[in-house]
Structure formats: C-alpha cells, structure tokens
Structure 1
Amino acid sequence: MEDMLGYLRYLAVGMKATATVGSISFISAVLIALVVGIVRAQQIPVLKSVAFVYVEIFRGTSLLVQLFWLYYTLPLFGITVAPLTAACLGLALNSGAYGSEIVRGALLAVPKDQLEAATALNLNAAQTLWKITLPQAAVEMVPPFGNLAILVLKDTALVSMISIADVAFKAQELRTFTYDSARIYTVTLLVYFGMALIVMAIGRIAEHYLRPPYLRRRTILLGRA
C-alpha cells in the first residue's frame, strides 16, 4: 500500500503536464470546431471545401502520427516546434475535426421553422446564426463536447511519445526503475479515472446551466420526485 501511495505521489508530478496539455488542447479544439462547424453548416463557398479537407485528413489519420509529424517533420522545413506546442496543436487539430461534426450536426438540427421565423423578422444570415441558431444548438453541443473532453484527456497519454513528462511518461519512468508494472499501471488507471470524473462533473454543471430555465426546473422537479 505504501508503495502505491509513493507511486501516486510520483505520478502527481505528471498530472500538471496532463492537465495543462488537456486544457489548452480542449479549449483550442472547441474554437476550431466552432469555426469549422459553422463554415460547413452554413455552406460558405471555398471555405467549406477547405474545412472538408481538414476534417477528412485529421479524422482519417492517426493522432500519434500527427504528433510525430508536427514534432519531427516540421523542423525539416525550418519550423522548430516545442514539445508542448506540438502536443497541444496536434490534439487540438485532431479533436477539433471531430468536434466540428458535433457543431455542424447541432446547427442543422435546429428546426426549420426557427429559420423561417428569422427570415420573417428580416434577420440576415449572421443575425440568424448568432441570435437564433447558435444559442439553441449550444445546448445540444454540451453533452457530446463533454465526451470529447474526456477523449482529449485520454489522448494526452500519447504526448509522452514526444517527451512531454505527463502521467503516462512518469508511469513509464517508474516501470523502468522498479519493474512493478501491475501496481504502477493500476495507479495510473486510477489517476486518469479520477481526472475523467472531474471533467464529467464540470460537463454536467455546464449542461445544467446552459439549459433553458423551464427545462432546468423540470429536471429539478423530476429529481425530487
């Protein structure tokens, strides 16, 4: 038991790197997803083709290879990328491609009569997007974006391959020193699970407060019943 607590303390050093990479990557991925998803949902000329190519490339190739390409290949073109930058950029671009489909689907799911009402009120495309479509779609985006956040957290384990001292990197160091693979990786699993629980809790809170007030009250009443 004492050994496992010692392992936990050692892995805690890598939790800061995991949290940093995961947070920066997820926030960047959401911003990318919003831009790309809106471009594809609104069928903006030229940009929709660029967005389609981006999404297909990053969804159709391995995240690990993408990280290797950013970290090891870009310097061959004279662009030196720090490990942290390569990790955050790779995760953000990869997750943003998946997230853009969440945004696009949520925007397209808004009832057509809402768009017809906006037209009747003489709202232009930008006003319709920001005042009608996006606020309604945002509520539907929160649960899948919560799942995406957990996936980003788990994918951070791959950044250890480009020398980021995250939880997975520290676990591998411990295994090299002690050869106690079973207990080390058991503690590592628990660390990731604990961090995932925190992410899920934040997602539930965000989902609750983004719901319309009448739905929020109904959820509270059902919970009491």
Structure 2
Amino acid sequence: MTAALYTQTRPRVGVAQTAGVREKLRLVTTGPEADAAPQVSLANVLDALLIRVAGGDQVAFSELYDHIAPRVLGLVKRVLVDHAQSEEVTQEVFLEVWQNAQKFEAGKGTATTWVLTMAHRRAIDRVRASQAGRDRDLKIGIRDFDERVDNVQETVEIRIEHERVKRAFVRLSELQREAVSLAYYGGYSHSEISNLLGVPIGTVKTRLRDGMIRLRDELGVRT
C-alpha cells in the first residue's frame, strides 16, 4: 500500500513545488541551520506538507503518508482489531486526506491530530456499520469516571439496545462523543486520549465526565 494509490484523482504537479519542504527536513537534521532545529518541529513540517497536499502536491502527500500511515493503521486496528478491515479503512482515510486536505486549518490543530481524528471517526463508522441491523444489547464500560463533587471514581455499566445508544450519542457534543468513543471503542487511557487529541488530561476527563453524565440522563440510568 503506497501513497501513489490515492493521487490519481488530483492533477500532477512538479517536484519543484515541494522543494521547500524537503529542504526544511534536510536542514533540520544535517544542514547549517541544525542549531535552530527545535524551532522547526516535526509537527510544523507535517503541517507544511499537508498544506502542500491541499494544492495537489503528490510528493508532499507521499512524505506525509510515510510519516503518518503507521500511526493511522495502528489507531484503526485498535478499534477494529481485524487487520484486513483496518487496512481498508486506512486506505479510505488517506483518500479522504488527499481529497479534502484544503479543509485543514493549521490554527485549529496539527496535521497529525487532524488525520488521526479522521481515522478514528472512520473506524467508528465502520464499527457502527457492522452493527447496523443488529437488534442486540450493547454494553458500554466507562473507565475511571471522576466525580469532582465527591472525588469518588465509579464505573457505570449500561446495557441497552443499540438504537437507543445511538440516539443518546447524537445528543452529546462532538467533543464529548470523540472522548467517549476513544475511551470505549478504542480502549484508550486518559493520557493516550490526551496525546491523540492534543489537549490536557484534565480536559479529557471533563469531556468524559460530562459526556457520561449526559448519556446517563438520556438513557435513564440511575447512579
């Protein structure tokens, strides 16, 4: 699986257009500006690559793919488990990156966060699609749910029909759904979610807490 598979729907551009990004990568590690390397982080370089991808730069896309594809596949596989499905979803993610790179806004987050968030959402969509039509109970395990009021951790277990859970999830904010989905579907810890989303652990806990309180209310689960 290579980056070239995704670029057939966009016009070819010259290699010269990505010379600046390649030169930046070279200077960070070997050039006379190596002393300034801390000011040019990998995150900055990936942001620059994604911006060039938005302009149809195939070479930039290839470099971005090489950097991020392993992390995307790893994230997707943690959600889906099945390797074949994980590879399929990873391909879908990078096709979406190629086609929608112009939607990336550097001021709202890093390229890595943007791509990994997209990957997580697609993985969750695949999980939901595989469950469509099944009328069965869905068990949601809530881990490490902090209540500031009494400083007591509790685990809330909800057994409810799939369609009811879906309707309840719709009522959460996007940020709450993202945090709860990562914790449940992905099995991520608070610190791992913090790293994935680029937000403090306290923010992750707040989103999980508020999301689970809302879910409890929507589903009529008593504490």
TM-score, scaled relative to structure 1: 0.28
TM-score, scaled relative to structure 2: 0.28
Higher relative contact order (CA 8 A, sep 6+): 1
Larger CA Rg, structure 1 vs 2: 1
